[in-house]
Amino acid sequence: MNETTANSALVTFAIYLLGVFFLAWLSSRVRQKKEFVGEYFLGGRSLGLWAFALTFAATSSSGGSFMGFPSLIYTHGWVLALWIASYMLVPIVGMGLLGKRVNRLARQSGAVTVPDLIKARFKSETVGMIATLLVLFFMFFYLLAQFKAGSKIMTTLLEDVAIYQSAVNAVGSATDGLPWIGSAEPDYVLCLLVFAFSVIVYTAFGGFRAVVWTDVMQGIVMGVGVIILLFLTLGQVGGLKNATEQLKEMTPPETGTGIVTLGQGQTETITLPKGAWLRLADEGIARLAEQVNLAKGETHVEAKLLKITTPAEVERIMPTDFDFPVTAAFTAEQAKGYGQGRKGVYVSAPGPHPEKEGGFLNVWVAISFFFFWAFGSAGQPSNMVRLMAFKGTNVLRNAILAVSVYYTVIYLLLVVIFCCARILLPGMEVDSDRIMPELAAKVTRNAGVPWLAGLLLAAPFAAVMSSVDSFLLMVSSAVVRDIYQNRVNPSASEKRLKRLSYLVTAVVGTLAMLAVLNPPQYLQDLIVFATSGLAGCFLMPILLGLYWPQMTAKGAIAGMLGGLGCHLSLYIAGYLIEDKFAAYQLLELNPFIWSLTVSGLLGWLVSLGHQRSSIFSAKP
Amino acid sequence: MNEHSSAETSNLRQSRRELWLILLAWLGCALWVISYCSTNGYDLAPEEVSTVLGFPDWVFWGVVTPWMIANAFTFWFCLRFLKNDEDEEETP
């Protein structure tokens, strides 16, 4: 990114944060003089069409939608259209499957949280307690992962801003030598502090209504950002047909090592930045996959390289201009994946993969994802809370329609945009997570509107923030409502609950921030662990509970614990067999499918033979 | 059967119809997308891929077209099939 783009990112970010704080303040003004708990955790159950539609859509679109997903599209090509295809049904499945029934039960029982709802349906304290513990367990993992994702996105987007670099240096000096914090990267620490402080303050201060209003703003930012990016990108690649024709001829780049050689020894230490283009001895072109330093007088150094293999690109790309001659000799790693040297892999399935022999997406994995996106979304407690808060079926009806259009715009167009990005920005495999900011910077600069990059770069901020605030409030509501108000002190005063809610939201957020100051490994895997675990434990007991009057509390407990047991077993098996934190893919199917099956079967079997009971008849 | 339980029975019946239709829609789309893409989209040489509106043909017929049909179905479902509960108060 050049300086103009970087500064526009900083200005946009500042305006964006001001907007978020303003909405939190406005929300707290609206909340005054109303019943606190229902208002703070559920916005008074008064969500209208746009608030409900956009909070649902924005909460579901986390940082992955704007960082990880574009990176996958760039790396594997058009096959990502198949990978994400189930989003065509996420609105109707995610909102329509449970929406009307969840909303009705929540209204009739006065439930404010998902455990409240489950307790009301089954008239059982034990079911409610198990649900609370499951929410706390999985949500905290999710919160950690999103805090890290938010901070990483900020470091990526602000890294070229001069004032930010000064602040990073100051933080580095201040934290150097401190236990725990001192070993973390100073840029990461700075961004984590800013990100966490912002989210904790506006969530704690504004509650559910602030979260929803900021979600609406964030949803609009994401939608507008994608549409602008589409037009700029398509214009610069000469249209989609032209882009696809060029993609047909592309072959995946080769990774390997090389000896980088300076034409002459230098009088001072030389740094060649990651991403620099080098001319190879065989007239090919390669990109530095890491930063390299050459000491004074040194002329040779070994480095990781990415060699471009598509002839048209080799001809088109010019080596980076240094003040001294630099060349490199390249040695490819032994090819073990799929697609090496093959044309057409970016426009067909299974898509190239540097390690997997079967490619990126075999048919079984495609089936798994078609199932997971739709039903995994329906089973997320953070989505269920939103289903408890809309005004009535008319709002649900129109919101499903709005989200259908919104997801078509976001997900289908992102595939188009980042397939085209391969043509505009070759060699981004060296740091593919940066493809979104790099593309925004490139297309706005080419179009003569570099200031517009700021708006495009706000989309990933918006996506992460709109997820983090929802999860933070869910963990807080589990503590205040489900544990304190329902079990410890049912007669607690409004004033006490209010203070406790602020305090718990702030403490939970701070704990999560401290936990990820030195982020544990496998955080991305933790996101998958938490989302599939939550859906595997909650979807079937709630679905059966809402549609089958015979479903009992024992059946619900069996369903939740069965789903949890299956989920944990597959992860333990995965760890023992593959020696990494990942689930064992029995028959190559997503573990969520197995835990959902076990949960549903157990819930059904344990409840069989019992009398019908009224679904809507109890207070939590 | 009192008025409340009669409405509840009727609401449950309608909600179940909606549930089954959503599940059928998911199954229909899954069969279309997976069968079409697995038959026509895997292991293709460049000359086997033609384009429709700029999309590779298997993406257009296997993903984009069912996506649009799924959206049309969603509109029909919401506007024609999804009913308010019998005893639900009208909201604007």
Q: Which residues of A touch B62 (CB under 8 A)?
A: 82
pLDDT attached to residue B91: 54
ipTM score here?
0.93
Mutate to test the interface with A, among B26, B60, B68, B69 (most CBs of A within 10 A): B26
Count the domains in chain B: 1
Name, of A6-15, A19-28, A277-286, A413-422, the range with top average pLDDT: A413-422
Where residue A554 falls among pLDDT bands split at 50, 70, 90? very high
CA distance B65 to chain A (A): 10
**What is the secondary structure of A379-392 as a DSSP string?**
T-HHHHHHHTTB--
Calpha distance A495→A207 (Å, rounded): 15
* Nearest CA-CA distance, residue B86 and chain A, Å: 11
Phi, psi of A254 (to 5 degrees): -100, 140
Residues facing residue A285 across a β-bridge: A279
Name, of A11-20, A312-321, A443-452, the range with top average pLDDT. A312-321
Residue A254 tokens, joined: 């080769």
Take residue A610 and report the two structure tokens written for it. Answer: 């019992």
Largest Cα–Cα distance in chain B?
69
Residue A301 sits at φ, ψ, to 5 deg, of: -155, 145
Confidence of residue A524 (pLDDT cuts 50, 70, 90): low
Average pLDDT over chain A, rounded to an integer = 86
Contact of B73 with B27, CB cutoff 8 Å: no
| Amino acid A616: pLDDT | 67
Q: How far apart are CA B11 and CA A103, in angstroms?
A: 13
* Nearest residue of A to residue B88, measured between CA atoms: A392
Q: What whole-number percentage of chain A has pLDDT above 70?
A: 95
**pLDDT interval class at A520 (50, 70, 90):** low
pLDDT at A184 over 60: yes
Residue B28 domain flag? yes
Answer yes or no: is B29 within a domain. Answer: yes
Question: Are A394 and B44 a contacting pair at CB < 8 A?
Answer: no
Residue B47 lies in a domain: yes
**pLDDT digit string (tens) for A213-242?**
877 887 888 888 899 999 999 999 999 999
B22 and A97: CB-CB below 8 Å? yes
Burial class (CB in 10 A: 0-12, 13-18, 19+), A329: middle
R_g (Cα) of chain B, nearest Å: 20
Q: What is the structure's pLDDT at A294?
A: 84
- B25, A89: Cβ pair inside 8 Å? yes
For A97, the closest of B19, B48, B58 (CB atoms) is: B19
3-state DSSP of A154-173: HHHHHCCCHHHHHHHHHHHH
B52: in domain:
yes
Read off the DSSP letter of residue A252.
P
CA distance B55 to B48: 13
Which pairing describes strands A277-280 and A285-288: parallel, antiparallel, or unpaired? antiparallel
In this complex, do B34 and A248 lie within 8 Å of one another by their Cβ atoms?
Answer: no
Q: What is the model's pLDDT at position B4?
A: 56
What six digits make up the tokens of A417?
A: 């945009």
Say if A483 is an interface residue toward chain B (CB within 8 Å): no
What is the reported pLDDT for A620? Answer: 46
Burial A542-559 (b: 16+ CB within 10 A, else e): bbbbbbbbebbbbbbbbb
| CB B25, CB A89: distance < 8 Å | yes
Q: How far is B24 from chain A (nearest CA, A)?
A: 11
Q: Is the peptide bond before A490 cis (omega within 30 degrees of 0)?
A: no
Instruction: Compute CA A338 distance to the chain's CA centroid, rounded to the nearest angstrom.
Output: 27
A307-346 residues touching B, CB cutoff 8 A: 343-344
Q: State which residue of chain A sits closest to B59, comparing Cα positions.
A: A81
Contact yes or no for A243 and B54 at CB 8 A: yes
Of the residues A237, A247, A347, the best mutation for testing chain B's interface (the one with the most B CB atoms within 10 Å of its CB) is: A347
* B3/A contact by beta carbon, under 8 A: no
Of residues A181 and A15, which shows the higher confidence score?
A15
Q: Contacts of residue A241 in chain B, CB cutoff 8 Å? A: 51, 53-54
Dump pLDDT digits (tens) for A471-497: 788 888 888 888 888 888 888 888 888
User: Which residues, including other chains, have CB under 8 Å from residue A449's CB and lie 6 or more apart?
Assistant: none
Report the pLDDT value the prediction gives residue B1, as an integer from 0 to 100.
47
Question: In angstroms, rounded to a whole number, what is the distance separating the alpha carbons of residues A462 and A155?
Answer: 15
Residue numbers in A near B13 (CB within 8 A): none
- The number of residues in chain A equals 620
Which residue has better confidence, B44 or A179? B44
CA angle, residues A603, A607, A609, in degrees to nearest 5: 150
Strands B55-56 and A292-294: unpaired
Is the model more confident about A478 or about A131? A131
Place of tokens 């901070």: A151
- Per residue in A249-296, pLDDT (tens digit) is 999 999 999 888 887 767 788 888 888 999 998 889 999 998 888 888
pTM for this model (two decimals): 0.88
* Cβ–Cβ under 8 Å, residues A84 and B67: no
Tokens 């004074």 belong to residue: A296
Higher pLDDT, residue B13 or B7: B13
Strand, helix or coil for residue A578: helix
The encoded tokens of residue A44 equal: 């008074």
Token readout for A496 is 């006490």
Q: In 3-state terms, what secondary structure has residue A503? A: helix
Residues from chain B contacting residue A391 (CB–CB below 8 Å)? 91
In sequence order, the β-bridge partners of residue A292 are A272
Give B 6-35 residues with CB within 8 A of chain A. 8, 11-12, 15-16, 18-19, 22, 25-26, 29-30, 33-34
CATH of domain A3-29+38-240+350-519: 1.20.1730.10
pLDDT at A456 over 90: no
- Residues B9-56 pLDDT 10s: 888 999 999 999 999 999 999 999 999 999 999 999 999 999 999 999
Cβ separation B67–A101 shorter than 8 A: no
The answer to whether A93 contacts chain B (CB < 8 Å) is yes
Contact B37 A89 (CB under 8 A): no
Q: Where are the domains of chain A?
A: 3-29+38-240+350-519, 253-338
Taking CA–CA distances from A391, the nearest residue in chain B reads: B91
Helix (H) or strand (E) holding A115: helix A114-122
Q: What is the pLDDT of residue A519?
A: 65
B80, pLDDT greater than 90: yes
The token pair at A29 is 């003004």
- A374 touches B at CB < 8 Å: yes
Higher per-residue confidence, A36 vs A341 = A341
Q: Calculate how close chain B gets to A136, using CA atoms only, in Å.
A: 29
Residue A252: Cβ within 10 Å count: 25
List, as ranges, residues 174-203 from A with C-beta within 8 Å of B.
none
Q: Enumerate the residues of chain B whose CB falls inside 8 A of the CB of residue A398.
A: 78
A393·B77 Cβ contact <8 A = no
User: Strand, helix or coil at A316?
Assistant: helix
- Side-chain-side CA neighbours of A586 within 13 Å: the count stands at 13
Of A370, A396, A401, the CB nearest to B30: A370
Structural domain for B37, as ranges: 21-81
Tokens of B70: 């799924």
Q: 3-state class of A306 per DSSP? A: strand
Q: For A69-78, A141-150, A250-259, A435-444, which range has the lowest pLDDT when averaged over its residues?
A: A141-150
3-state helix/strand/coil string of A267-333 = CCCEEECCCCEEEECCCCEEEECCCEEECCCCCEEEEEEEECCCHHHHHHCCCCCCCCCEEEEEEEC
Q: Is A269 on the interface with B (CB under 8 A)?
A: no
- Picking from A344, A347, A401, the nearest residue to B78 by CB comes out as A401
pLDDT in tens, A375-428: 999 999 888 988 998 888 999 999 999 999 999 999 999 999 999 999 999 999
**Span A159-174, average pLDDT:** 84
More confident residue, A609 or A355: A355
